[in-house]
Amino acid sequence: MEMIRLTETVKKGGCAAKLPADELRAVLDGLRLNTTPELMVGTSTMDDACVWDLGDGRCMVQTLDFFTPIVDDPYDFGAIAAANSISDVYAMGGTPKTAMTILAFPASTLPLDLLRPLMQGAIDKIHESGSALVGGHSIDDETLKLGFSVTGFVPKQDVWTNAALKPGDVLILTKPLGTGTITSALKSKKASTASMDDAISSMKTLNQVPDLLKGMGVRAGTDITGFGLAGHVVQMARASDVSVEIDVRTLPTLEGAIDLLKAEVLNRAHRTNLRYVENEVDFAGTPQEYRWLTLDPQTSGGILFSVSEGQANEALAAVRRKFPRSSIVGRVMKSADSRVRFT
């Protein structure tokens, strides 16, 4: 098959293609949605997935995600799209079981043969997670888009939400930041091979974090995706009615990301993420490149979770077995004027 640069077929790639969070929130604010006692987690806290109480001690976790190409290789794009979609189930403490494909394919401009490596990458990642691809839906569209609706399960007592932070908790981040700037650099041919290899490896890594933390009392978690670390931490702090302090010097970063951010290799989502959080974040004396790092739109980013201070070192050691660059990045405090403070 002739080499096709998938990123050249789209204007925006990965989770950076999300609609701006502040604009989306304003437009949808006030819509009336049905609720029911079985719905434990819905849309009110902007969590990663919904959680439905099955009434037998288990909960169902349901989510969906899709986006445009963020890398050029179809196999890698399929694997990243699947890992990113499955991540929301892990972010709720769950185990994924089934996935259904969401595919928009430009049949007039891309060869249909490209679907085979694309879907093989996704299927390999779905199988790695222990779940099964059970169906899906496809359409002919002008722009390639791929994602999955994923269903998983979790014992009711083990559900994680973004609304369960408690003052005194310690925050741990499992994956390095920087996919937004590195993939933007790919489109402008400024990304080094080392940077792209590091970013692709990270994005393809499944967020199988809950199994590593059994018995450690984790209740609060989220995955870091298109709204950046700052956006997702603001949502957690808002939902939990607490404040968070994060030391930017402890944030793990992908190869070359800081240099690219110093050169302001950015995309639109960096700026819309800033607009989304600027009234709730204090950047204090944070260097500009680290401000952009906290706003960097992640695709298939890491899990940010909280544990008590007494279990922080044990939890960190546990997740480092699979995520060696995991780091303690911050602390949870009582609610203050600023929801999130970067130092």
- DSSP string of 198-264? HHHHHHHS----GGGGTTS---BEEE--TTHHHHHHHHHHHHHTEEEEE-GGG--B-TTHHHHHHTT
Specify the amino acid at residue 194: A
Give catalytic status of residue 59 as yes or no.
no
Residue 319 parent element (H or E)? helix 312-320
107 and 144 Cβ atoms separated by less than 8 Å = no
b vs e for 24-55, b when ≥16 Cβ sit within 10 Å of the residue's Cβ? eeeeeeeeeeeeeeeebbeeebbbbbbbbbee
Burial 258-290 (b: 16+ CB within 10 A, else e): bebbeeebbbebbebbbebbeebbbbeebeebb
Pairing of strands 242-246, 327-334: antiparallel
- Of the candidates 91, 94, 83, the one whose C-alpha atom is nearest the C-alpha of residue 48 is 91
Task: With CA atoms as reference, report the closest residue to 252 among 315, 317, 201, 176.
Answer: 176
Tally of residues, the chain? 343
Q: Determine if residue 172 is left, alpha or beta; phi over 0 gives left, psi from -120 to 50 gives alpha, anything else beta.
A: beta
User: Which candidate in 6, 15, 70, 81 is catalytic?
Assistant: 15
Cβ distance 68 to 143 under 8 Å?
yes
8 A C-beta contact, residue 218 and residue 315: yes
Contact 168, 243 (CB under 8 A): no
DSSP codes of every residue in 51-80: EEE-SSSEEEEEEEEEE--SSS-HHHHHHH
Catalytic residue numbers read: 15
